[in-house]
Amino acid sequence: MAACALPPLGVLLALLCVGAVRAADTVTADRPLSVSQTLVSSGRKFALGFFQPEGGAAGSWYVGIWYHNIAVQTPVWVANRGAPVSDAASSRLAIAPDGNLALFHGSGSIAWSTTKANTSGTANATDTVAVLLDSGNLVLSPASNASAVLWQSFDHVGDTWLPGGKLRRDKRTGEIQGMVSWRAHGDPAPGMYSLQLDPSGAPQYVLLANGAQEYWLTGNWTGKFFTGAPEVAASSGGSGYSFEFVDNDEESYFTYNFAVNSTVYRFVMDVSGQVKGWFWVEATQAWNLVYAEPKARCAVPRGCGAFGVCTEGAATACDCARGFRPRSPANWGFDDFIDGCVRNAQLQCAKNSTDSVSSSTASGSNKEAQDKFLRMDGTRFPDDGRTVGVASTGGCQTACLADCTCSAYAYNGSCFLWYGDLQNLEAGVGDDQAGAGSLYLRLAASELPGARSHKWRNVKIAATALGIACFVVAASILLVRTTRKRRTARLNGLTAGDGCVSYKYSDLQYLTKNFADKIGAGAFGSVFKGQLSDSTVVAVKKLEGLRQGEKQFRAEVSTLGTIQHVNLIRMLGFCSDGAADRKLLVYEYMPNGSLDHHLFRKTFYVLSWQVRYQVGLGVAKGLAYLHERCRDCIIHCDVKPENILLDAAFAPKVADFGLAKLVGRDFSRVITTMRGTIGYLAPEWISGEAITTKADVFSYGMTLFEIMSGRRNFEQGERPSVVSSAEDTTGAEEQATTTFFPLLVARRLAEEGDVMELLDPELEGDADPEEMRRVCKVACWCIQHDVDARPTMEEVVQMLEGLTEVEMPPVPQYLEVLAGRHAQESTYHSAQQLDETAYGSV
Ligand SMILES: *[C@@H]1O[C@H](CO)[C@@H](O)[C@H](O)[C@H]1NC(C)=O
Ligand SMILES: *[C@@H]1O[C@H](CO)[C@@H](O)[C@H](O)[C@H]1NC(C)=O
Ligand SMILES: *[C@@H]1O[C@H](CO)[C@@H](O)[C@H](O)[C@H]1NC(C)=O
Ligand SMILES: *[C@@H]1O[C@H](CO)[C@@H](O)[C@H](O)[C@H]1NC(C)=O
Ligand SMILES: *[C@@H]1O[C@H](CO)[C@@H](O)[C@H](O)[C@H]1NC(C)=O
Ligand SMILES: *[C@@H]1O[C@H](CO)[C@@H](O)[C@H](O)[C@H]1NC(C)=O
Ligand SMILES: *[C@@H]1O[C@H](CO)[C@@H](O)[C@H](O)[C@H]1NC(C)=O
């Protein structure tokens, strides 16, 4: 029962502890399952029992399967998805008289039941058992013969597709098994989005909205990968998973699995309409997102709900249109926007009954408060607009006003009207694009500026407001005077060497002028500029998605606060005011921003070779310190140019270390947008092997390549391939594998070629050839597939300082597979050739 001493996770963990007593994986006729019990699979990987999903409706209980050993509640299958029980205390999961497994209300009525195959007449209630397997599959079979499956949960996939499961199409019945999203965060009822095999019979998956509208396709299976999603391939070139398509007379299905037994992976049809792949990472105790499609969030139909506005590439995909607010605000924090937005103020035309009375007494008020329109430029028009034969903007507006259900109009030569809920609004679209332009959104007059009525009542309100404002100003001046002294005292006490200061939330509000100057947004939250009273500029990071308790947070942060190294960003203080949205970290401010900015041409000047070399060396020193010198070894987990900041003298400082543990959400979000699982991620993240400091070494190596080349390793097409100028490339397949920079470098080294040709062309050859060669070799060693072949960061430092000789690195073969597959994304047509080149070599 030691597990009960873990951080409180409410009912769930309590149930797990009770379950541990029962320690059985089977429901039999004489052993039903009640709310206080849990089935645990024989290898203790999965558990089955009653649960209440996080964020779910109070009093709604479900029977489901989750990971037994994972502290973050993660249901992978739910029995009674659409039929929660409220009388959990008296409900039972039991074998029904007809041999099915059923969930009984206290009254004896059935809330949910399996629909077992009707083949064997031998199985009756006393003879039937339900067993939870270590794969997460719940299997109903005769007690006398476990291999005769009567029903199994793997044939009734919910929103999660586990390794070993099948997404199949039964060719005899035409039945299709797909993943169906939850209706909303906390609500397992079947939702709007599904992923399934193409009903037309083509060997591909389709994503469907409302079971009908296709919005993404994987492309046909070539036998090795999907043409439209090449990162999902038959095997991952050594990192341990296999993906298989089976197609025979009876059925066709895909299935996948991992060579390493301990890998915990799941594909989920997410509420957001994206299909997502998640790995559990023990080191960080968090789910790590490694796959998400479609990458374009705004491509998901109705993804932001009614009156939600989607912006591609924004930190949060959805926002409410002006004049609207989220219908389910709590869910927005979980990236669930499906419930959309509601009006802040009712439209005038909708206030019929009350107004018909008031307008007779106060005539004219109706007209003045008439609904207004908000112009939204650069908006993609929803496609359900209706044209009316009106030949002017004014006429179009009048036509919309005439119908209370009309919620927007647009005029681009013809007049379009939209009725009811507006769906699929997308902002930030160029006006020159077809089907985009200025949309006029109907709002209550009070939502728009300049809508003030001249009624005396309003003047009175204004006067009162002014009075209050004056009082507030006067009071604040007094208050500021008195608190400034105290604050100044506290804030001035802040100098290097003081360790980590604990701030009040109001202090930080004050320092940042109420978070007015946002200087960045990363995986962990937004960053604001602030100024201490002695004019020291600081960066204040507002953490998002924190999952730790107050005490743990303070403990972690104090540890981070003690870390001091010239190449690590220094934490000056923190704020932990109880509330989850009041967790902030205060850092020294880096005037030259992050490295990606300078490398990838967002500035006017080019970083010289000397600076680049020093940046590479400095980052290596910083990471070596994190890995070896700190009291507890810290794995950064997210080394990339965005997390390397430059001070006024362009000396590098590594940022965001230690936060993965603190926040633990999908800190690899950025990585997924960079070509699926490849980017800066070490292969062991994918294979589920233990994550060590060598994972950072890998990411560091990838970053070194970018420092040399001045472009993203996976960036293509923007600039002519380096090789095509040096060699005469023929054919797409050659191009495909040769444009992956790390591979280029490795091959060039192997054939003793001139690596100077690979240098960022912007430097015009102005670099030390010996240093360049050394950096190339070090980077190639860092990205070796074999963890043990990679050097430690300490060794990297010695190599870069020229203290040790660098041997010739082998060409990482697995890269050829990844590079080839990646290139496939941009050069679809040469699938056949790629098979021969990229895959032929492994
Ligand atoms: C199962 O078989 C019995 C008798 O053979 C029949 O009455 C019943 O309708 C069948 N049920 C289903 C679901 O096919
Ligand atoms: C159920 O099946 C078992 C084993 O086949 C048999 O012993 C038992 O008599 C059956 N019970 C009923 C009610 O048919
Ligand atoms: C058990 O079930 C399997 C699959 O239905 C069948 O092939 C096998 O003959 C059965 N064994 C016994 C002992 O009934
Ligand atoms: C995919 O395969 C199906 C049949 O297997 C074929 O009809 C279809 O044209 C293929 N699609 C593409 C894009 O090649
Ligand atoms: C995986 O683990 C199970 C027990 O949980 C064991 O029986 C099986 O042999 C393992 N498979 C591999 C490939 O290690
Ligand atoms: C306005 O009137 C219609 C029909 O008379 C009625 O259905 C609707 O509920 C009314 N709306 C309000 C807000 O009173
Ligand atoms: C006006 O918008 C409609 C609807 O999106 C579009 O189909 C049409 O091409 C546009 N017309 C012009 C002239 O841009």
Tell me the residue type at 124. N
Is 527 inside a domain boundary? no
Give the number of the ligand closest to the Cα of residue 119: 1
The more confident residue out of 770 and 500 is 770
Give the number of the ligand closest to the Cα of residue 99: 2
Q: What is the pLDDT of residue 231?
A: 63
Ligand 4 pocket test, candidate residues 216, 218, 220, most atoms within 8 A of CB: 220
Check the CA dihedral 582-588-592-595 and report its sign: negative
762-809 per-position pLDDT tens digit:
888 889 999 999 999 999 999 998 889 999 999 999 999 998 889 999
Q: What is the pLDDT of residue 321?
A: 92
Q: What is the pLDDT of residue 13?
A: 38
Same domain for 152 and 178?
A: no
Same domain for 384 and 423?
A: yes
Mean pLDDT on 559-570 = 88
Rounded to the nearest integer, the mean pLDDT of the chain is: 79
- Does the structure show a pLDDT above 90 at 156? yes
Mean pLDDT on 510-530 = 83
Same domain for 183 and 318?
A: no
Q: What is the pLDDT of residue 86?
A: 94
- Does the structure show a pLDDT above 80 at 613? yes
Residue nearest to atom 7 of ligand 3 (CA): 148
685-697 per-position pLDDT tens digit:
766 667 788 989 9
Q: How far is the CA of 469 from the centre of ligand 5 (A)?
A: 70
Tell me the residue type at 377. D
What's the Cα-to-Cα distance from 108 to each of 376, 389, 490, rounded to whole Å?
56, 61, 66
- DSSP-derived letter for residue 2 is G
Is 704 inside a domain boundary? yes
Residue nearest to atom 6 of ligand 7 (CA): 435
**Ligand 5 neighbourhood includes 43 CB (under 6 angstroms):** yes
Q: What percent of the chain has pLDDT over 90?
A: 41
Q: What is the spatial distance between Cα 422 and Cα 135, in angstroms, rounded to a whole number?
A: 43
Residue nearest to atom 5 of ligand 5 (CA): 43
Indicate the pLDDT class of residue 733, thresholds 50, 70 and 90. very low
Give the number of the ligand closest to the Cα of residue 352: 6
Q: What is the pLDDT of residue 364?
A: 41
410-454 per-position pLDDT tens digit:
998 899 999 999 999 998 887 677 888 899 999 998 887 654 433
Residue whose entry in the numeric block shows the structure tokens 């160029």: 430
What's the Cα-to-Cα distance from 394 to each of 167, 373, 496, 514, 769, rounded to whole Å?
53, 12, 64, 41, 68
- Does the structure show a pLDDT above 50 at 359? no
Any idea what the CATH number is for the domain that residue 707 is in?
A: 1.10.510.10
Q: What is the pLDDT of residue 831?
A: 29
Q: Which of 532, 474, 479, 473 is nearest to 503 (CA)?
A: 532
Q: What is the pLDDT of residue 440?
A: 95
Read off φ and ψ for residue 472, nearest 5 degrees: -60, -45
Read off φ and ψ for residue 37, nearest 5 degrees: -120, 160
Longest dimension (CA), the chain: 94
- Among 452, 480, 506, identify where a domain stops: 452
Question: Which of the residue ranges 355-359, 423-427, 722-726, 821-825 would you say has the lowest mean pLDDT?
Answer: 722-726
Task: Answer whether 602's CB lies under 8 Å from 659's CB.
Answer: no
Residue whose entry in the numeric block shows the structure tokens 């082998």: 810
Same domain for 348 and 230?
A: no
Atom of ligand 4 lying closest to residue 204 CA = 1
- Among 259, 290, 321, identify where a domain stops: 290
Indicate the pLDDT class of residue 667, thresholds 50, 70 and 90. very low
Q: What percent of the chain has pLDDT over 70?
A: 75
Coil, helix or strand at residue 217: strand
- Does the structure show a pLDDT above 70 at 572? yes
Q: Which of 211, 206, 163, 164 is nearest to 293 (CA)?
A: 206
Residue 51 domain boundaries? 21-156
Task: Answer whether 609's CB lies under 8 Å from 589's CB.
Answer: no
Q: What is the spatial distance between Cα 790 and Cα 701, in angstroms, rounded to a whole number?
A: 10
User: Is 666 a residue of the active site?
Assistant: no
Is 487 inside a domain boundary? yes
The more confident residue out of 155 and 280 is 155
The more confident residue out of 396 and 21 is 396
- Does the structure show a pLDDT above 90 at 119? no
Q: Which of 652, 630, 633 is nearest to 643 (CA)?
A: 652
- Measured at the CA of 78, the angle between CA 46 and CA 11, to 5 degrees, comes to 65
Number of structural domains, the chain?
5
Same domain for 286 and 180?
A: yes
370-379 per-position pLDDT tens digit:
889 999 988 9
Task: Answer whether 218's CB lies under 8 Å from 232's CB.
Answer: yes
Task: Answer whether 310's CB lies under 8 Å from 298's CB.
Answer: yes
Q: What is the spatial distance between Cα 360 and Cα 351, in angstroms, rounded to a whole number?
A: 14
Is 552 inside a domain boundary? no
Task: Answer whether 269's CB lies under 8 Å from 180's CB.
Answer: yes
Q: What is the pLDDT of residue 391?
A: 87
What's the Cα-to-Cα distance from 62 to each of 11, 112, 189, 191, 646, rounded to whole Å?
13, 10, 10, 16, 51
Q: What is the spatial distance between Cα 699 and Cα 636, in angstroms, rounded to a whole number?
A: 10
Q: What is the pLDDT of residue 469?
A: 52
Mean pLDDT on 623-631 = 83
- Does the structure show a pLDDT above 80 at 18? no
Q: What is the spatial distance between Cα 295 and Cα 304, in angstroms, rounded to a whole number?
A: 15
Coil, helix or strand at residue 835: helix
Question: Which residues neighbour 489 within 8 Å (Cβ) at sequence distance 6 or greater?
Answer: none
Is 179 inside a domain boundary? yes
Task: Answer whether 506's CB lies under 8 Å from 544's CB.
Answer: no
Q: What is the pLDDT of residue 656?
A: 84
Same domain for 152 and 162?
A: no
Mean pLDDT on 10-21 = 40
**Ligand 5 neighbourhood includes 261 CB (under 6 angstroms):** yes
Q: How far is the CA of 376 from the centre of ligand 6 (A)?
A: 29
Atom of ligand 3 lying closest to residue 145 CA = 1
Mean pLDDT on 696-711 = 93
84-112 per-position pLDDT tens digit:
999 999 999 999 888 899 999 999 999 99
Give the number of the ligand closest to the Cα of residue 380: 7
Q: What is the pLDDT of residue 288?
A: 75
Any idea what the CATH number is for the domain that residue 130 is in?
A: 2.90.10.10
Is 566 inside a domain boundary? no
Same domain for 702 and 821?
A: yes
Q: What is the spatial distance between Cα 329 and Cα 322, in angstroms, rounded to a whole number?
A: 15
Q: Which of 320, 523, 346 is nearest to 422 (CA)?
A: 320
193-222 per-position pLDDT tens digit:
999 999 888 999 999 999 999 999 999 988
- Among 464, 492, 520, identify where a domain stops: 492
Q: What is the pLDDT of residue 3?
A: 34
- Over its C-alpha atoms, the chain yields an Rg (Å, rounded) of 30
- DSSP-derived letter for residue 56 is P
Ligand 4 site residues, Cβ closer than 6 angstroms? 202-203, 220
Same domain for 430 and 339?
A: yes
Atom of ligand 2 lying closest to residue 143 CA = 4
The per-residue b/e assignment along 169-198, b for 16 or more CB within 10 angstroms, e otherwise, is beeeeeeebbbbbbbbbbbbbbbbbbbbbb
- Does the structure show a pLDDT above 90 at 260? no
Q: State the pTM of this model.
A: 0.62
3-state helix, strand, coil in the chain (%, to 5): 30, 25, 45
- Does the structure show a pLDDT above 80 at 731? no
The more confident residue out of 345 and 830 is 345
> H or E stretch including 662?
helix 659-663
The more confident residue out of 761 and 369 is 761
Q: How far is the CA of 259 from the centre of ligand 5 (A)?
A: 10
* Cα 237 to chain centroid, rounded: 25
Question: Which of the residue ranges 140-144, 603-607, 727-731 would you say has the lowest mean pLDDT?
Answer: 727-731
- Does the structure show a pLDDT above 50 at 6? no
Question: Which of the residue ranges 494-498, 628-632, 669-673, 747-751 would you say has the lowest mean pLDDT?
Answer: 669-673
Q: What is the spatial distance between Cα 153 and Cα 173, in angstroms, rounded to a whole number?
A: 19
- Does the structure show a pLDDT above 50 at 489? no
- Does the structure show a pLDDT above 70 at 141? yes
DSSP letters spanning 761-830: GGGTT-S-HHHHHHHHHHHHHHT-SSGGGSPPHHHHHHHHTTSS--PPPPP-HHHHHHHHHHHHHH-GGG
DSSP letters spanning 504-573: PHHHHHHHTTTTT-EEEEETTEEEEEEE-TT--EEEEEEE-S----HHHHHHHHHHHHT---TTBPPEEE
The two three-digit tokens of residue 810, written as one number? 């082998």
Mean pLDDT on 323-334 = 88
Same domain for 227 and 147?
A: no
Is 569 inside a domain boundary? no
Ligand 3 site residues, Cβ closer than 6 angstroms? 145, 147-148
Same domain for 721 and 614?
A: yes
Q: Which of 620, 730, 714, 644 is nearest to 674 (CA)?
A: 714
**Ligand 7 neighbourhood includes 434 CB (under 6 angstroms):** yes
Q: What is the pLDDT of residue 795?
A: 95
Read off φ and ψ for residue 715, nearest 5 degrees: -70, 135
HEC-encoded secondary structure of 300-319? CCCCCCCCEEECCCCCCCEE
44-89 per-position pLDDT tens digit:
999 999 999 998 999 999 999 999 999 888 999 999 999 999 999 9
- DSSP-derived letter for residue 715 is -
Is 740 inside a domain boundary? yes
- Does the structure show a pLDDT above 80 at 358? no
Same domain for 246 and 336?
A: no
Q: Which of 331, 286, 277, 262 is nearest to 71 (CA)?
A: 286
Q: What is the spatial distance between Cα 733 and Cα 728, in angstroms, rounded to a whole number?
A: 13
Catalytic residue among 638, 666, 696, 760: 638
* Distance, first Cα to last Cα, the chain: 49
Q: What is the spatial distance between Cα 184 and Cα 337, in angstroms, rounded to a whole number?
A: 8
Same domain for 109 and 223?
A: no
Residue nearest to atom 14 of ligand 2 (CA): 124
Ligand 7 pocket test, candidate residues 396, 414, 424, 440, most atoms within 8 A of CB: 414
Q: What is the spatial distance between Cα 666 and Cα 290, in angstroms, rounded to a whole number?
A: 9
Question: Which of the residue ranges 117-131, 154-168, 557-571 would you say has the lowest mean pLDDT?
Answer: 117-131
Q: What is the spatial distance between Cα 277 and Cα 288, in angstroms, rounded to a whole number?
A: 8
Question: Which residues neighbour 408 within 8 Å (Cβ) at sequence distance 6 or greater?
Answer: 373, 400, 417, 418, 422, 439, 440, 441, 442
Task: Answer whether 51's CB lies under 8 Å from 78's CB.
Answer: no
Q: What is the spatial distance between Cα 824 and Cα 822, in angstroms, rounded to a whole number?
A: 5
Tell me the residue type at 33. L
Task: Answer whether 289's CB lies under 8 Å from 672's CB.
Answer: yes
Residue nearest to atom 4 of ligand 7 (CA): 435
